[in-house]
Structure 1
Amino acid sequence: RRRGVPTPAPVVAVAPPVASASATVLEVRAHDAPGLLHRIGRALDGAGVRVRTAHVSTLGADAVDAFYLTDAAGRPLSARRAGEVAAAVRAALG
């Protein structure tokens, strides 16, 4: 990160249900920084969801990640629960 150059705020979004029939897809786009994936992982753990798979990539200075989430029973999250999890990840990324 260069001094004096602001970085864009992280974007955390729940993908439409058609993205996966077996999990809820949470998309995270943020400026890449040390510990970014750790903060996301801790937020997901704290929210009590399971990560079925994660697709993590870095494009230039940005991280573009997709997490396929389920509840404890292995089902996709409800829309309300997915919104709560997205909010928890947003808070963790500050």
Structure 2
Amino acid sequence: AAAPPPRVSVDPAASRHATVIEVRAQDAPGLLFRIGRALEDAGVRVRSAHVSTLGANAVDAFYVTGLDGTRLPAEEAEAVAGKLEETLEA
């Protein structure tokens, strides 16, 4: 069976101090590197990362802020999540 495509979502209610971006993807060598690079390219700071592997799947949550240390506006958060998903699909 083929692995499901990566899913990236934003959970706006998960934290008062950061924007939470959740990534669900097939686990593979270099996955965290690719995610980290995409977040860096998006110009966000990772305040905290919670990384889990469940069988062959990675379920990771990244608490990110803007360069000023505040939560991302909703539109920016969705744009970052969309770019991250595109990166993982490539």
Q: TM-score, normalised by structure 2?
A: 0.96
Q: Which residue of 1 aligns with 2:5?
A: 9
CA RMSD of aligned residues (A): 0.6
Q: Percent identity?
A: 61
Give the total of aligned pairs: 89
**Aligned-partner Cα distance in 1 for 2:22–2:52:** 11
4+ runs deviating over 4 angstroms:
none
**Residues 31-56 of structure 1, C-alpha deviation per residue, up to 9 Å, x if partnerless?**
10111111111100000000000000
Are residues 1:18 and 2:40 paired? no
Are residues 1:88 and 2:77 paired? no
What are the ranges of 5 or more consecutive residues in structure 2 without an aligned counterpart?
Answer: none
- Give the secondary-structure state (helix, strand or coil) at the position aligned to 2:35: helix
**Residues 34-82 of structure 1, C-alpha deviation per residue, up to 9 Å, x if partnerless?**
1111111110000000000000010100000000000011000000000
**Aligned-partner Cα distance in 1 for 2:69–2:39:** 15
Q: TM-score, normalised by structure 1?
A: 0.92
**Aligned-partner Cα distance in 1 for 2:85–2:59:** 14
Report which of the two structures shows the higher radius of gyration computed on alpha carbons: 1
